[in-house]
Amino acid sequence: MRVGRGAGVVLALALGACRSRDAGTPDAGVLPPPSALSCEGLVTPEIRDALPGFSFKEERTCPSCGPICTFRSAEQKDVTVSIAYDCHKLPDGQDVRGLLAPTLRAGGIEVPALGKAAARREPVPGMLQVVTWDDDTPCGIVVTWLGKDKDRALELARTTLFGITHERLMHAGTPPPAPSLDSAPQGVGLAPDAGLP
What does the domain layout of the chain look like in residue ranges?
3-18+36-172
Whole-Å CA distances, 1 to 5, 24, 47, 106, 124: 8, 30, 24, 17, 9
Question: Where is average pLDDT lowest: 55-59, 90-94, 151-155?
Answer: 90-94
Ordered alpha helix ranges (H), 51-144 = 101-105
CA 150 – CA 153 distance, rounded (Å):
6
CA 10 – CA 145 distance, rounded (Å):
13
Q: Find, among 84, 89, 88, the residue nearest to 141 by Cα.
A: 84
Q: Which residues contact 133 (CB under 8 A, 6 or more apart)?
A: 96, 99, 115, 116, 117, 118, 139, 140, 141
Confidence band of 184 (pLDDT split at 50, 70, 90): very low
Dump pLDDT digits (tens) for 97-139.
Answer: 788 888 999 999 999 999 999 999 999 999 999 999 998 899 9
CB 115 within 8 A of CB 155: no
- Strands 109-110 and 80-87 come out as unpaired
Q: Does residue 12 surpass a pLDDT of 70?
A: no
- According to DSSP, residue 136 is labeled S
CA 136 – CA 109 distance, rounded (Å):
23
Tell me what percent of the residues of the chain surpass a pLDDT of 70.
73
Which CATH number describes the domain made up of 3-18+36-172? 3.40.1000
Phi/psi at 170 (nearest 5 deg)? -60, -30
